């Protein structure tokens, strides 16, 4: 999926002095970051620290306060067209599962990735090339047996795979994933882990949130720690995924162990 305009190291998101308010509450403060192609970024932080809000900035469903000192650019544009954005970034948000109406099939959910509108009657209007793309995704994500089942009757693992297939209909170079491993059983977790690793091998860059240290992807090469709406730290996994940093971040007593590219967390009695 990579091309010349997506060369590793090139900035795709530029955030300078970004502040976000919701209902007059400051949710994100003084965010200064560049996100670059070639990075697979883990966002880590306690509940309510602003991780989802940060990801929603990238999908333009939340806007920062504009001041003369602030700047927010996606793909070098201050006001990127939402259609262009959808082609460049695939999004998975926790609340998406609830947005699908009863009666809507898994096939309709995947095809709604083209319009960006859940529950739309877009499936009948699909071109042949779009149908081929959907069929490829159905195969990749092993959804063939359930493709005409009602989305809301499926398991969490099946729903998650369908929404990931939906996020990939435009073959974006970037995937933004808010808690992709949430509620998955052991097998679904491992399958998703393998599928995401496979996407990374094919030059898809991930920016994702997880609360589960065991789910951190081995190819993660940047970690951004968020606490109380501020960037607490930004560095490599070897610098930041360790006993001291995570104990401080979550204010708990834990031991963090790395094993063959994966991490484990052991609670310590205080
Ligand atoms: N639509 C909203 N209306 C009011 N407050 C909101 C809204 N969305 C987020 N917030 C508040 O913003 C803060 C950050 O929320 P956010 O969902 O970004 O945190 P998070 O780090 O993703 O949390 P979690 O790990 O629990 O998902 C929280 O205090 C939350 O209550």
* Cβ atoms of 169 and 110 closer than 8 Å: yes
Sheet holding 71-74, edge to edge: 25-36, 11-22, 71-74
Query: How big is the chain by its Cα radius of gyration, in Å?
Result: 19
> Tens digit of pLDDT for each residue in 31-64?
999 999 999 999 999 999 999 999 999 999 999 9
Q: What local confidence, expressed as pLDDT, does residue 3 receive?
A: 62
Whether 111 lines ligand 1, by a CB cut-off of 6 Å, is no
Residue 95: strand, helix, or coil: coil
Whether 22 lines ligand 1, by a CB cut-off of 6 Å, is yes
Residue 208 CB partners (closer than 8 Å, separation 6+): 41, 42, 43, 175, 176, 177, 178, 180, 217
Whether 40 lines ligand 1, by a CB cut-off of 6 Å, is no
> Tens digit of pLDDT for each residue in 199-258?
999 999 999 999 999 999 999 999 999 999 999 999 999 999 999 999 999 999 999 999
Query: First and final CA of the chain: distance in angstroms?
Result: 48
Q: What local confidence, expressed as pLDDT, does residue 109 receive?
A: 95
Q: Which atom of ligand 1 is nearest to the CA of 226?
A: 21
Strand-pair category, 262-267 with 174-178: unpaired
- Going from the Cα of 52 to the center of ligand 1, the distance in angstroms, rounded, reads 7
Task: Report pTM.
Answer: 0.93
Whether 69 lines ligand 1, by a CB cut-off of 6 Å, is no
Give, in order, the Cα–Cα distances in Å from 57 to each of 46, 49, 61, 181.
Answer: 19, 15, 6, 21
Provide the pLDDT confidence category of residue 4 given band limits of 50, 70 and 90. Answer: low
Q: Percentage of the chain surpassing pLDDT 90?
A: 84
- Say whether domain 4-238 belongs to CATH 3.40.50.300: yes
Query: How far is Cα 46 from Cα 206, in angstroms, rounded to an integer?
Result: 20
E strands, the chain, in order:
11-22, 25-36, 41-44, 71-74, 89-92, 174-178, 205-209, 222-227, 230-235, 254-259, 262-267
């Amino acid at each position: 999926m990579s091309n010349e305009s997506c060369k590793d190291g090139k900035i795709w998101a530029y955030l300078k002095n970004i502040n976000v308010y919701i209902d007059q509450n400051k949710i994100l403060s003084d965010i200064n970051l560049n996100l670059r192609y070639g990075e697979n970024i883990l966002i880590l932080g306690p509940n309510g620290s602003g991780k989802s809000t940060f990801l929603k900035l990238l999908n333009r469903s939340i806007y920062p306060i504009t001041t003369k000192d602030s700047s927010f650019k996606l793909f070098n544009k201050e006001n990127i067209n939402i259609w262009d954005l959808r082609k460049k970034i695939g999004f998975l948000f926790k609340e998406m599962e609830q947005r699908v109406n009863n009666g809507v099939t898994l096939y309709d959910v995947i095809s709604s990735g083209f319009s960006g509108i859940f529950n739309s009657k877009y499936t009948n209007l699909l071109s042949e090339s779009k149908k081929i793309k959907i069929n490829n995704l159905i195969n990749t994500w092993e959804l063939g047996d359930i493709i005409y089942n009602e989305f809301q009757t499926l398991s969490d693992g099946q729903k998650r795979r369908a929404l990931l297939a939906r996020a990939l209909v435009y073959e974006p170079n970037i995937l933004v994933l808010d808690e992709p491993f949430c509620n998955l059983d052991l097998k679904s977790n491992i399958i998703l882990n393998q599928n995401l690793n496979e996407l990374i091998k094919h030059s898809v860059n991930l920016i994702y949130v997880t609360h589960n240290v065991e789910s951190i992807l081995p190819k993660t090469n940047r970690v951004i720690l968020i606490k109380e709406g501020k960037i607490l730290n930004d560095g490599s996994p070897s610098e930041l995924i360790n006993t001291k940093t995570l104990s401080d971040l979550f204010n708990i007593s834990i031991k963090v162990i790395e094993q063959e590219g994966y991490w484990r967390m052991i609670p310590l009695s205080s």
